[in-house]
Amino acid sequence: MALLDIRDLSFSYPDESKPALNNFLTAREGEFILLTGPSGCGKSTLLKLIKHQTAPAGRMRGQVLYHGKRVEDYLPLTLSQEIGFVFQNPDNQIVMDHVLQELVFGMENMGYEPGFMKRRVAELVHFFGFEPWLEKKTSEMSNGQKQMINLASVLLLNPKLLLLDEPTSQLDPVAAKQFFSIIEQLNQDSGSP
Ligand code: ADP
Ligand code: MG
Protein backbone atom coordinates (compact mmCIF):
# COMPACT_ATOMS: atom_id res chain seq x y z
CA MET A 1 0.00 0.00 0.00
CA ALA A 2 1.21 3.49 -0.78
CA LEU A 3 2.39 5.60 2.14
CA LEU A 4 0.59 8.58 0.68
CA ASP A 5 -2.12 8.60 -1.94
CA ILE A 6 -3.61 11.88 -3.08
CA ARG A 7 -6.67 11.50 -5.25
CA ASP A 8 -8.28 14.29 -7.29
CA LEU A 9 -7.43 16.82 -4.63
CA SER A 10 -8.67 20.32 -5.15
CA PHE A 11 -8.57 23.09 -2.62
CA SER A 12 -9.87 26.68 -2.61
CA TYR A 13 -9.09 29.30 0.02
CA PRO A 14 -12.14 31.15 1.42
CA ASP A 15 -13.43 33.91 -0.90
CA GLU A 16 -11.26 32.67 -3.77
CA SER A 17 -13.11 31.45 -6.86
CA LYS A 18 -10.10 29.71 -8.42
CA PRO A 19 -8.80 26.55 -6.73
CA ALA A 20 -5.30 26.94 -5.22
CA LEU A 21 -4.41 23.47 -6.39
CA ASN A 22 -5.76 20.55 -8.29
CA ASN A 23 -3.74 17.36 -8.32
CA PHE A 24 -2.93 13.77 -7.45
CA LEU A 25 0.20 12.02 -6.26
CA THR A 26 1.30 8.68 -4.87
CA ALA A 27 4.31 8.19 -2.62
CA ARG A 28 5.73 4.86 -1.50
CA GLU A 29 8.01 4.16 1.42
CA GLY A 30 11.62 5.09 0.65
CA GLU A 31 10.67 7.38 -2.24
CA PHE A 32 12.11 10.85 -2.56
CA ILE A 33 9.70 13.12 -4.44
CA LEU A 34 10.48 16.61 -5.67
CA LEU A 35 7.53 18.92 -6.32
CA THR A 36 8.44 21.81 -8.58
CA GLY A 37 6.47 24.68 -10.03
CA PRO A 38 6.36 28.47 -10.09
CA SER A 39 5.58 30.50 -7.01
CA GLY A 40 1.86 30.40 -6.25
CA CYS A 41 1.21 27.07 -8.01
CA GLY A 42 0.11 25.41 -4.75
CA LYS A 43 3.16 23.53 -3.41
CA SER A 44 2.86 24.84 0.17
CA THR A 45 -0.92 24.41 0.19
CA LEU A 46 -0.55 20.78 -0.84
CA LEU A 47 2.00 20.06 1.90
CA LYS A 48 -0.20 21.75 4.52
CA LEU A 49 -3.15 19.58 3.50
CA ILE A 50 -1.08 16.41 3.85
CA LYS A 51 -0.24 17.12 7.49
CA HIS A 52 -3.85 17.65 8.44
CA GLN A 53 -3.16 19.83 11.53
CA THR A 54 -1.56 22.46 9.32
CA ALA A 55 -4.44 22.48 6.78
CA PRO A 56 -5.67 26.02 6.05
CA ALA A 57 -9.36 26.93 6.15
CA GLY A 58 -11.08 26.51 2.80
CA ARG A 59 -12.99 24.10 0.58
CA MET A 60 -11.30 20.78 -0.07
CA ARG A 61 -12.45 18.14 -2.53
CA GLY A 62 -10.86 14.76 -3.16
CA GLN A 63 -8.84 12.73 -0.70
CA VAL A 64 -5.49 12.66 1.04
CA LEU A 65 -4.90 9.08 2.16
CA TYR A 66 -2.06 8.19 4.52
CA HIS A 67 -1.58 4.41 4.78
CA GLY A 68 -4.92 4.09 3.01
CA LYS A 69 -6.85 6.14 5.56
CA ARG A 70 -8.02 9.76 5.22
CA VAL A 71 -5.73 12.14 7.12
CA GLU A 72 -8.73 13.78 8.81
CA ASP A 73 -9.61 10.40 10.38
CA TYR A 74 -6.29 10.10 12.28
CA LEU A 75 -5.73 11.19 15.86
CA PRO A 76 -3.77 14.49 15.73
CA LEU A 77 -1.03 12.93 17.88
CA THR A 78 -0.44 10.18 15.32
CA LEU A 79 0.07 12.61 12.45
CA SER A 80 2.18 14.93 14.65
CA GLN A 81 4.59 12.08 15.19
CA GLU A 82 4.47 10.29 11.84
CA ILE A 83 4.47 13.26 9.46
CA GLY A 84 7.39 15.64 9.95
CA PHE A 85 7.23 19.10 8.39
CA VAL A 86 10.14 21.50 7.89
CA PHE A 87 8.90 24.97 6.94
CA GLN A 88 10.37 27.30 4.38
CA ASN A 89 11.39 29.97 6.88
CA PRO A 90 13.42 28.49 9.78
CA ASP A 91 12.35 31.31 12.14
CA ASN A 92 8.70 30.27 11.81
CA GLN A 93 9.48 26.93 13.37
CA ILE A 94 11.93 27.77 16.18
CA VAL A 95 10.11 28.38 19.48
CA MET A 96 12.67 27.91 22.26
CA ASP A 97 15.60 30.06 23.45
CA HIS A 98 18.26 27.36 23.52
CA VAL A 99 19.23 24.70 20.98
CA LEU A 100 18.85 21.73 23.32
CA GLN A 101 15.42 22.94 24.49
CA GLU A 102 14.39 23.37 20.87
CA LEU A 103 15.51 19.87 19.96
CA VAL A 104 13.54 18.18 22.73
CA PHE A 105 10.45 20.42 22.55
CA GLY A 106 8.55 18.14 20.15
CA MET A 107 9.44 14.99 22.08
CA GLU A 108 8.38 16.55 25.38
CA ASN A 109 5.03 17.47 23.84
CA MET A 110 4.59 13.85 22.82
CA GLY A 111 5.17 12.79 26.43
CA TYR A 112 8.13 10.52 25.70
CA GLU A 113 9.86 8.87 28.61
CA PRO A 114 12.98 10.88 29.76
CA GLY A 115 15.44 7.99 29.38
CA PHE A 116 14.27 7.35 25.81
CA MET A 117 14.49 11.07 25.00
CA LYS A 118 18.07 11.27 26.27
CA ARG A 119 19.18 8.28 24.18
CA ARG A 120 17.42 9.50 21.05
CA VAL A 121 18.76 13.07 21.40
CA ALA A 122 22.31 11.78 22.03
CA GLU A 123 22.14 9.64 18.86
CA LEU A 124 20.88 12.44 16.66
CA VAL A 125 23.18 15.09 18.12
CA HIS A 126 26.08 12.79 17.28
CA PHE A 127 24.74 12.16 13.75
CA PHE A 128 24.42 15.90 13.06
CA GLY A 129 27.60 16.87 14.96
CA PHE A 130 25.56 19.32 17.07
CA GLU A 131 27.59 18.93 20.28
CA PRO A 132 29.13 22.46 20.13
CA TRP A 133 25.70 24.10 19.64
CA LEU A 134 23.69 22.50 22.43
CA GLU A 135 24.12 25.27 25.03
CA LYS A 136 23.86 28.09 22.48
CA LYS A 137 20.91 30.41 21.98
CA THR A 138 18.78 29.62 18.94
CA SER A 139 18.87 33.35 18.07
CA GLU A 140 22.68 33.10 17.64
CA MET A 141 22.39 30.41 14.99
CA SER A 142 22.64 31.15 11.27
CA ASN A 143 19.69 30.32 9.00
CA GLY A 144 21.49 27.20 7.81
CA GLN A 145 22.07 26.05 11.40
CA LYS A 146 18.46 26.86 12.34
CA GLN A 147 17.15 24.79 9.45
CA MET A 148 19.37 21.85 10.53
CA ILE A 149 17.97 22.21 14.07
CA ASN A 150 14.41 22.18 12.68
CA LEU A 151 15.19 19.08 10.66
CA ALA A 152 16.75 17.36 13.68
CA SER A 153 13.77 18.25 15.97
CA VAL A 154 11.40 16.75 13.44
CA LEU A 155 13.56 13.63 13.00
CA LEU A 156 13.66 13.03 16.76
CA LEU A 157 10.01 11.97 16.50
CA ASN A 158 11.03 9.31 13.98
CA PRO A 159 8.56 10.37 11.27
CA LYS A 160 7.57 8.02 8.46
CA LEU A 161 6.94 10.86 6.04
CA LEU A 162 9.04 13.99 5.85
CA LEU A 163 7.60 17.10 4.17
CA LEU A 164 10.14 19.77 3.29
CA ASP A 165 8.75 23.08 2.01
CA GLU A 166 11.60 24.79 0.16
CA PRO A 167 13.78 24.22 3.24
CA THR A 168 16.89 25.60 1.56
CA SER A 169 15.40 28.76 0.06
CA GLN A 170 16.91 30.90 2.84
CA LEU A 171 20.25 29.10 2.89
CA ASP A 172 23.49 29.90 1.10
CA PRO A 173 24.65 27.31 -1.47
CA VAL A 174 27.05 25.59 0.97
CA ALA A 175 24.40 25.24 3.70
CA ALA A 176 21.83 24.08 1.10
CA LYS A 177 24.22 21.39 -0.14
CA GLN A 178 24.84 20.20 3.43
CA PHE A 179 21.10 20.09 4.11
CA PHE A 180 20.42 17.92 1.06
CA SER A 181 23.37 15.61 1.69
CA ILE A 182 21.92 14.91 5.18
CA ILE A 183 18.52 14.18 3.60
CA GLU A 184 20.14 11.89 1.04
CA GLN A 185 22.04 10.03 3.76
CA LEU A 186 18.88 9.62 5.85
CA ASN A 187 16.98 8.35 2.84
CA GLN A 188 19.71 5.77 2.14
CA ASP A 189 20.03 4.72 5.80
CA SER A 190 16.38 4.48 6.76
CA GLY A 191 14.22 5.24 3.74
CA SER A 192 14.08 1.78 2.19
CA PRO A 193 11.07 -0.34 3.03
P1 ADP B 1 3.50 27.88 -3.66
O2 ADP B 1 3.89 27.27 -2.34
O3 ADP B 1 3.62 26.92 -4.82
O4 ADP B 1 4.18 29.17 -3.92
P5 ADP B 1 0.94 28.39 -2.33
O6 ADP B 1 0.42 27.06 -1.94
O7 ADP B 1 1.56 29.23 -1.29
O8 ADP B 1 1.92 28.21 -3.60
O9 ADP B 1 -0.25 29.23 -2.99
C10 ADP B 1 -1.16 28.69 -3.95
C11 ADP B 1 -2.22 29.73 -4.29
O12 ADP B 1 -3.03 29.96 -3.14
C13 ADP B 1 -1.64 31.10 -4.70
O14 ADP B 1 -2.47 31.63 -5.68
C15 ADP B 1 -1.72 31.89 -3.41
O16 ADP B 1 -1.86 33.27 -3.68
C17 ADP B 1 -2.98 31.33 -2.77
N18 ADP B 1 -2.94 31.41 -1.31
C19 ADP B 1 -1.96 30.92 -0.49
N20 ADP B 1 -2.25 31.15 0.81
C21 ADP B 1 -3.46 31.78 0.80
C22 ADP B 1 -4.31 32.29 1.83
N23 ADP B 1 -3.98 32.15 3.13
N24 ADP B 1 -5.48 32.89 1.46
C25 ADP B 1 -5.81 33.01 0.15
N26 ADP B 1 -5.06 32.56 -0.85
C27 ADP B 1 -3.89 31.96 -0.56
MG1 MG C 1 5.35 27.79 -0.98
pLDDT at residue 25 greater than cutoff 90: no
In this predicted structure, what is the pLDDT of residue 166?
93
User: Which residue from 18, 44, 89 has its CB within 8 A of the most atoms of ligand 1, so it is best to mutate?
Assistant: 44
- The string of pLDDT tens digits covering residues 123-157 is 999 999 999 999 999 999 999 999 999 999 999 99
Ligand nearest to the backbone CA of 41:
1
Query: What is the Cα–Cα distance from 43 to 20, expressed in whole angstroms?
Result: 9
Q: What ranges do the domains of the chain cover?
A: 1-74, 83-193
pLDDT for 191: 62
Amino acid found at 60? M
CB 29 within 8 A of CB 61: no
pLDDT at residue number 17: 83
Residue nearest to atom 5 of ligand 1 (CA): 42
- Span from the CA of 85 to the centroid of ligand 2 (angstroms): 13
Find, among 183, 105, 171, the residue nearest to 138 by Cα.
105
Q: Do 1-74 and 83-193 have matching folds? A: yes
Q: Which CATH number fits domain 83-193: 3.40.718.10, 3.40.50.2030, 3.30.70.1400, 3.40.50.300?
A: 3.40.50.300
pTM for the whole structure: 0.91
Residue 137 CA to residue 123 CA, distance in Å, equals 21
Q: Which fold has domain 1-74?
A: Rossmann fold (3.40.50)
Pocket test for ligand 1, best of 13, 47, 85, 166 (most atoms within 8 A of CB): 13
Please report, rounded to a whole number, the percentage of residues in the chain having pLDDT higher than 90.
Answer: 78
